[in-house]
Amino acid sequence: MTTTAIPLVDHFAQGLDAPICITWELTYACNLACHHCLSSSGRRDPDELTTAEAMAVIDELAEMQVFYVNIGGGEPTIRPDFWQLLDHAAARGVGVKFSTNGSRITPEAAARLAASDYVDVQISVDGATADVNDAVRGEGTFATAVQAMEHLAAAGFEGFKLSVVCTRQNAGQLDELKALADRYGAQLRLTRLRPSGRGADVWDELHPAAEQQRGIYEWLLEHGEEVLTGDSFFHLAGFGEPLPGLNLCGAGRVVCLIDPVGDVYACPFTIHDEFLAGNVRAEGFAAVWRTSELFQSLRGPHSGGACESCSAWDACRGGCMAAKFFTGMPLDGPDPECVKGHGETALATIDSASAPRPSIDHSKPTPTPVVLRRRPDRSCDESPLAGLDVASLPTPAGAT
Amino acid sequence: MTETTSVLDRPLELAAQVSVRPERFGALLYHFGTRRLSFLKDPRLLAVVQRLPEVPTARAACTACGVEPGSLRSFDAALRRLLDTGMLQERPA
């Protein structure tokens, strides 16, 4: 039933007075050093928001009627005031869904989380088996995540999320990942790997191969709304039917990112000066959201370039801005994972060394392996792990 | 209450855990229990939902909000969907 003059999706494309959902990276500190970390996290930034400043952000979100915020990092539970901020959000009626590697989800923490209506938890796992997961997240991280899930299930926390970034290595494990979530009464959430943060360094080795994209698409169609995706696979809508969700790039329109120092970016995958809208300290979040020039421009009309003449244009709208930007592709060109193959063609003409680097990097100095930022020779692409010696990846420091 | 009774003839109200955010196109609804987000794609539907607790039936809320008889079917379907997803609940008699 709709009698609106313009479709709902167009309302969203033009931006709302308040975001539907915000991602808030609470800290850049992390006890892990995942190779594909979208925020290049590792070390805390000395300028991170204080407890009082973070609470003021929560108050503002409550006033704007932002229903919930996705908290991440870094590892958000490392912040000493993490629980205090959760309690403040609940008191103000702002729901929190936080992402964690599970290392601090003790039985006591699980019981506390299970008791709150306002908190949801996402345990990050990037493979259905320890070998696949630990290769990107660090040795022992699969066991840690599974233990956290056991604690949550034992505490009676139903429907927490198992959050998985789809990679070339785990794209064949989707059934097993779903079974893993089911075992603990959790819901599977699959998201798309972006070449953001350290993800840029491993994109060539980790992003699903072209033939795997269709498999992911069909699997998602088959499982419908029982699997969450954060709307991140809308570039696959070009295969045919749209996937459940808005099928829209919400950056600066219905979503955005607040980083640990209060900088507001268009989306969680765009930590770069080019997509910086303002800072909550200087202006307050509402003012940044409503008046930033960047967000105003994202809410205006956009050219899709050559994509506009493609039969899939209405379905994918050119795909993901961050995926294009950090692979060095023009924003009005195809997505690097364009289902029609236009991305691969365009990518082949781009010198990857010219792709923008993240403006800020909080990686720990030692643990991230040096992966040369060069696109592997296409003729060597048969091996999904070409150029990445998984067995030799060092254990991230402190990943105990 | 049988399955065949139109949702329009029932006394309804917003579920306790649901928050409403009015928007130009209608409203966003969020259920803190199911963590489900819904969209009301018509400002008149929002008006009807807000009127529900004050009137005996959903039909009365539609009438009070000026919904023409020809549009009742679509309001019936929209309210049923909100009831099925737990956004609305039946009010105790």
Taking only the tens place, the pLDDT of each residue in A215-245 is 999 999 999 889 999 889 999 999 988 888 7
Residue ranges in chain A assigned as alpha helix (H):
8-13, 51-63, 82-91, 107-114, 130-137, 141-154, 174-183, 199-206, 210-223, 280-283, 285-291, 293-298, 313-316, 321-325, 342-348
Report chain A residues whose CB lies below 8 A from the CB of B30. Answer: 67-68, 95
Is the pLDDT confidence value at A201 over 50? yes
Interchain proximity A18–B42, CB inside 8 Å: no
Report chain B residues whose CB lies below 8 A from the CB of A20. Answer: 28, 37
Closest residue in B to A159 (Cα–Cα): B34
Pairing of strands A95-100, A161-166: unpaired
DSSP string, A357-400: PPS-----TTTS-----SPPPGGGTTSTTTT--GGGPPPPTT--
Consecutive H or E run containing B26: strand B26-31
d(CA A150, CA A164): 17
Tell whether A231 lies on the interface with B, counting CB pairs under 8 A: no
Report chain A residues whose CB lies below 8 A from the CB of B32. Answer: 67, 95, 117-118
Tell whether A397 lies on the interface with B, counting CB pairs under 8 A: no
Q: What percent of chain A has pLDDT over 90?
A: 77
d(CA B47, CA B58): 11
Is the pLDDT confidence value at A188 over 50? yes
d(CA A94, CA A64): 10
Interchain proximity A1–B19, CB inside 8 Å: no
Q: What percent of chain A has pLDDT over 70?
A: 90
CB-nearest to B25 from A8, A67, A159 is A8
pLDDT-derived band at A386, boundaries 50, 70, 90: very low
Q: How far is CA A393 from CA A18, A31, A34, A66, A132, in A?
A: 43, 16, 11, 41, 12
Q: So what's the pLDDT on residue A399?
A: 37
d(CA B37, CA A84): 26
Name the amino acid, one letter, at A319. Answer: G
Is the pLDDT confidence value at A400 over 80? no
Phi-psi category of residue A309: left, alpha or beta, with phi > 0 → left and psi -120 to 50 → alpha: alpha
Closest residue in B to A95 (Cα–Cα): B32
Is the pLDDT confidence value at A25 over 70? yes
Is the pLDDT confidence value at B1 over 70? no
Is the pLDDT confidence value at A121 over 70? yes
d(CA A7, CA B61): 25
Q: What is the pLDDT of residues A293-318, one digit of tens each?
A: 999 999 998 889 999 999 999 889 99
Tell whether A354 lies on the interface with B, counting CB pairs under 8 A: no
pLDDT-derived band at A369, boundaries 50, 70, 90: low
Q: So what's the pLDDT on residue A216?
A: 97
CB-nearest to A8 from B32, B41, B77 is B41
pLDDT-derived band at A10, boundaries 50, 70, 90: confident
Q: Integer distance in angstroms from the first to the last C-alpha of chain A?
A: 53
Is the pLDDT confidence value at A133 over 50? yes
Q: What is the ipTM of this complex?
A: 0.88
Interchain proximity B44–A120, CB inside 8 Å: no
Candidates B47, B36, B5; CA nearest to A67 is: B36
Interchain proximity B26–A95, CB inside 8 Å: no
Q: So what's the pLDDT on residue A305?
A: 92
Residues A92/A67, Cβ–Cβ less than 8 Å? no
Tell whether A95 lies on the interface with B, counting CB pairs under 8 A: yes
pLDDT-derived band at A5, boundaries 50, 70, 90: low
CB-nearest to A95 from B23, B32, B75 is B32
Interchain proximity B42–A2, CB inside 8 Å: yes
Mean pLDDT for A243-271 is: 93
A247 contact partners, CB below 8 Å, separation of at least 6: A9, A231, A234, A237, A315
d(CA A285, CA A69): 13
Closest residue in A to B31 (Cα–Cα): A67
Interchain proximity A1–B21, CB inside 8 Å: no
Report chain A residues whose CB lies below 8 A from the CB of B39. Answer: 8
Report chain B residues whose CB lies below 8 A from the CB of A97. Answer: 35
CB-nearest to A11 from B24, B44, B45 is B24
Name the amino acid, one letter, at A106. Answer: T
Q: So what's the pLDDT on residue A376?
A: 46
Chain A: closest CA distance from residue B78 (Å): 7
Q: So what's the pLDDT on residue B4?
A: 62
Spatial strand order of the sheet with A68-72 comes to: A187-192, A161-166, A119-124, A95-100, A68-72, A21-25, A255-258, A263-265, A276-279
Q: What are phi and psi of B89, to 5 degrees?
A: -140, 160
Of the given ranges (A131-140, A204-213, A349-358, B29-38), which has the lowest mean pLDDT? A349-358
Q: So what's the pLDDT on residue A246?
A: 77
Report chain A residues whose CB lies below 8 A from the CB of B71. Answer: 1, 3
**Half-sphere exposure in the Cβ direction for B54 (13 Å, CA):** 10
d(CA A50, CA A35): 28
Interchain proximity B42–A8, CB inside 8 Å: no
Candidates A279, A269, A289; CA nearest to A356 is: A269
Q: Integer distance in angstroms from the first to the last C-alpha of chain B?
A: 12
**What number of C-beta contacts closer than 8 Å exist between A and B?**
49
Interchain proximity B23–A11, CB inside 8 Å: yes
Interchain proximity B32–A8, CB inside 8 Å: no
Mean pLDDT for A106-130 is: 96
Chain B: closest CA distance from residue A226 (Å): 12
Candidates A252, A222, A217, A218; CA nearest to A235 is: A217
Place of tokens 């919904």: B67
Closest residue in A to B19 (Cα–Cα): A67
Report chain A residues whose CB lies below 8 A from the CB of B41. Answer: 1-2, 4, 8
pTM: 0.88
SS (H, E, C) A237-302: HHHCCCCCCCCCCCECCCEEEECCCCEEECCCCCCCHHHEEEEHHHHCHHHHHHHCHHHHHHCCCC
Is the pLDDT confidence value at A178 over 80? yes
Mean per-residue pLDDT of chain A: 90
Report chain A residues whose CB lies below 8 A from the CB of B33. Answer: 117
Mean pLDDT for B34-59 is: 94
